[in-house]
Amino acid sequence: MDPEFRPGLCFPLNIDHDKGSLVLSNDTERITLTGIDPSLGGRVIEMLNRRKTVREVLLTFNNDPDNVSKFIETLISEKIVTAAPCCYTGAQISSLLQSFFSTWNDLLFSHPLWRSLADGKAPTPVLDGWLVETYFFIRGANARLSYAASQTSDLRVRGILVGHYVEEFDHYKFFAESLRCRGIDPAAVDRLGPLLSTSAVINMARRAARLDYLAYAACSGLLESTGSDSTRARLFYNKLAANYDHIGSGFVEPMLRHVALDDAYQHGSVMSDIFNPIQRIEPERADRIIECAFQFKETLWLWFNDIHSYYHRYPFDGTKVHRHYRRNWAL
């Protein structure tokens, strides 16, 4: 192995240990490695994450160079690391993110919240709770998109984000109409406020914007990738109508109009419009972008957990002025 070889980790990568073995995993596979102390293996991976050469890694762990060298060779053979490029193009990062989104969306929409709504097994309070939190989430475009534009120094990208915001700022009104069809007063919803996990999703997007406007673009791309599959969205909404609208309230119709409007705006291309013209993205920045998008995906999963658990226990009550205090129950 060339001592000057600079390995690059394939992200996202989770590091854990199980019964004395090092466990590396991502969304699609899990690899258990024996023959190296998990703590040592984790520290070697951290060194590789800092884009050190093989020589630099071996000098750091000079008390066990043979074992460390074999470990790096194993990582290469398992395609956990590859040759680290000097930089990436925006188109490469966009393509990589799109490949992740396909897998992540399959995972996210396999969550029990979405499955139970689609098959009609979720209690009615969970449906209403999902609608309440979705209303807050869509309204959150005013908190995240405008903020992201303000944090963007690149005028070309800022223009795209501003245009996106102009098209999105009032889409929560579709969901307010759906709430009214369900007999839920949006004013009462506003008075009670969102779940903390709903605020966490919005705040995670704002954090991404503070970190790097391209990290925000990646998180926004994940959101738009879920909405750009209009066939999947319409199928889901039609199932909601069949399962939960036996009195013909029409609460699904505003959401279907929202899908049609997003279709017309072609929001699914916003991320690629931002990334594709960029000719150079440094590896450290690329890592930051991918890591932030991965964390956003994890935040969405925890949000689904919270909606599913909370509204099983506490149906929405428009007469309340605060939410129940939650004590020691699992998400």
Model confidence at 161: pLDDT above 90: yes
pLDDT over 90, % of the chain: 60
Which residue, among 33, 20, 18, 21, has the nearest Cα to 80 in the 3D structure? 33
Least confident span in 86-100, 217-231, 274-288: 217-231
CA distance 94 to 273: 9
Per mean pLDDT, which range of 216-225, 258-267, 271-280 is the poorest? Answer: 258-267
* Angle of helix 196-211 versus helix 124-139 axis, rounded to 10: 30
Q: List the beta bridge partners of residue 22.
A: 17, 33
Q: How far apart are CA 130 and CA 128, in angstroms?
A: 5
Answer whether the bond into residue 283 is a cis peptide, omega within 30°.
no
Q: How far is 132 from 186, CA to CA, in rounded Å?
A: 9
For 22, list phi and psi in degrees, rounded to 5: -80, 130
Categorize the per-residue pLDDT at 163 as very low, low, confident or very high, splitting at 50, 70 and 90. Answer: very high
Model pLDDT, residue 227:
57
> What share of the chain in percent tops pLDDT 70?
94
Q: Distance between CA 133 and CA 122 in Å, rounded?
A: 16
**Which pLDDT band holds residue 158 (cuts at 50, 70, 90)?**
very high
Quick one: pLDDT at residue 331?
Answer: 43
**pTM, entire model:** 0.83
- DSSP per residue, 123-183: -HHHHHHHHHHHHHHHHTHHHHHHHHHHT---HHHHHHHHHHHHHHTTTHHHHHHHHHHTT
Which residue ranges form the domains of the chain, and what is each CATH number? 7-67+76-83 (no CATH), 90-313 (1.20.910.10)
